[in-house]
Structure 1
């Protein structure tokens, strides 16, 4: 199954006085330095597509894949925010945890059947900073299209 994350309203390339050239990317499981699809913080939008495996479990589905974090029943994706230096080195300073436990069971079942799960979210918090911490609906909208 494909999981597509569609981010809008990025916060810009600066976060406070200490963070310049801000970027956001999906973090690979157990490898915080391996990042998928870094986007600059001032991009008009950001999108990532991830292959996951959906396994039936009692009462629903368990999603696993190279970028899926956490244990069964508590799976999620990390969007890592960091600065990129002149050498292209990414230094993380904040993460958003896109939790799968907020996906309505009917939407997840339909996504498994159709092969696509889409998560849409704004990437700027109410203070104008990069979105961080636990992200569940209504901060993210999960759908099948």
Structure 2
């Protein structure tokens, strides 16, 4: 019978210290709020994944503001592979995401706190895009993870 006893301290090795739900792929604001709140109950930190631009970032920041375990926010504004149109061109006031000492204020306007630059969206829709994952290579020519 002793062989059936389980030492629960071993389960810590099977857990996560940080979760990274992506609001754009995991069900939106409500679902990610639930995921992050469940993680909080187990003292697991959250760093929401956010690679898709200003609308997703605004949504993430609203969730971050309500979650005690949100400790860092990923974002891709100004990242080197965004060429041509900057992601901030898609919103009217690009100062809303102005960082100071590594921090950004939670947008406090109605909705997500941002206003979409609809003219820019229309112009970019006319141009279209053919985005592909960039192919980066190491010095030896092998493919590097992007």
Q: Do they fold alike, i.e. is TM over 0.5?
A: no
Higher CA-based Rg: 2
- TM-score for both structures, normalised by structure 1: 0.22
Query: In proportion to residue count, which structure has more helix?
Result: 2
Greater RCO, CA 8 A, separation 6+? 1
